[in-house]
Amino acid sequence: MPKQGLFVTLEGGEGVGKSTLAANLKARAGTAGFTVYLTREPGGTPAAEHIRDVVLRVPDTDPLSPASQALLMNAARADHFEKVITPALQRGELVICDRFADSTRVYQGVGGGMSSEDISALERISFDSKHPALTLILDAAPATLLERRQSRDGATAPDAFEARDLAFHERVRTGFLDIAEQEPNRCIVLDALMPAESLADAAWQLILDRAGSGT
Ligand code: TMP
């Protein structure tokens, strides 16, 4: 592990299996003797978890604008980055974060129409534009993922983002794939429909390679 730690993020649309992958990566990191800090966004600190509740639970009848969402996501991110992510990296840990700034670029930018200049300004304020060393983007067709989520979660009520139409989720998918194309050194796309263990093996190997390269 590089002495400055390693910051890895997991990204993708709804129901791609980031949480399962995160848990499987944590297990592999533990077996390999790495100190791993698993966290998520929006969330990761008490204040950021409160913000998560607010932003995901607004009533459908009175939705937040993309700008309000982005401000709240970045308020949560600033607290999380300062109090949790930075100290863990300074301790030389492997930090795995379930969603980070690419989600704002895609959901509030591509999906919500915010300009990339405005989002870049928020990135400078909330985490000094210190992007992760490695971002694993889990990808699959939104319609297939929706079927998988419905068969798995049954009647669970969708949150403010899950409830959006298929066209929105298609834009989200394209948004993540575009980021991967623009930043091939940082981002790697993985097939979200792979069996969970194979996906975790592939992802863990990519993390090991990145840790070995000293970035
Ligand atoms: P999760 O269900 O994957 O934990 O993510 C919560 C939702 O929040 C998900 O629908 C994506 C959305 N989101 C944004 O719109 N912008 C952001 O910056 C982040 C971190 C999440």
> What whole-number distance in Å separates Cα of residue 173 and Cα of residue 181?
13
The pTM of the full predicted model, rounded to 2 decimals, is 0.96
Query: Kind and range of the H or E element at 170?
Result: helix 166-182
Q: Is the pLDDT score of 52 beyond 60? A: yes
Asked whether residue 186 is assigned to any structural domain, the reply reads yes
Domain of 120: which CATH number?
3.40.50.300
Residue 40 Cα: closest atom of ligand 1: 4
- What is the share, in percent, of the chain residues with pLDDT greater than 90? 86
Query: Kind and range of the H or E element at 16?
Result: none
Q: What is the pLDDT of residue 88?
A: 98
Asked whether residue 204 is assigned to any structural domain, the reply reads yes
| Domain around 86 | 6-213
Asked whether residue 1 is assigned to any structural domain, the reply reads no
Asked whether residue 124 is assigned to any structural domain, the reply reads yes
Question: How far is ligand 1, taken at its centre, from the CA of residue 32, in Å?
Answer: 30
Question: How far is ligand 1, taken at its centre, from the CA of residue 161, in Å?
Answer: 7
Asked whether residue 82 is assigned to any structural domain, the reply reads yes
Q: What is the mean pLDDT of residues 55-62?
A: 92
For the chain, helix, strand, coil in percent to 5 are 55, 15, 30
> What whole-number distance in Å separates Cα of residue 115 and Cα of residue 190?
27
Asked whether residue 135 is assigned to any structural domain, the reply reads yes
**In which band, very low, low, confident or very high, does the pLDDT at 157 lie, cut at 50, 70 and 90?**
confident
Q: Is the pLDDT score of 153 beyond 80? A: no
Q: What is the pLDDT of residue 97?
A: 98
Asked if 202 and 139 count as a contact pair (C-beta separation under 8 A), the reply is no
Asked whether residue 116 is assigned to any structural domain, the reply reads yes
Q: What is the mean pLDDT of residues 142-148?
A: 89
Q: Which residues contact 61 (CB under 8 A, 6 or more apart)?
A: none
Residue 73 Cα: closest atom of ligand 1: 18
Number of domains the chain contains: 1
Q: Is 116 exposed, middle or buried (0-12, 13-18, 19+ CB in 10 A)?
A: exposed
**In which band, very low, low, confident or very high, does the pLDDT at 151 lie, cut at 50, 70 and 90?**
confident
Nearest-CA residue for ligand 1 atom 4 is: 41
**In which band, very low, low, confident or very high, does the pLDDT at 60 lie, cut at 50, 70 and 90?**
confident
Residue 12's DSSP bridge partners are 138
Tell me the residue type at 155: A
Q: What is the pLDDT of residue 215?
A: 62
Q: Which phi and psi (to 5°) does residue 211 adopt?
A: -65, -40
Asked whether residue 195 is assigned to any structural domain, the reply reads yes
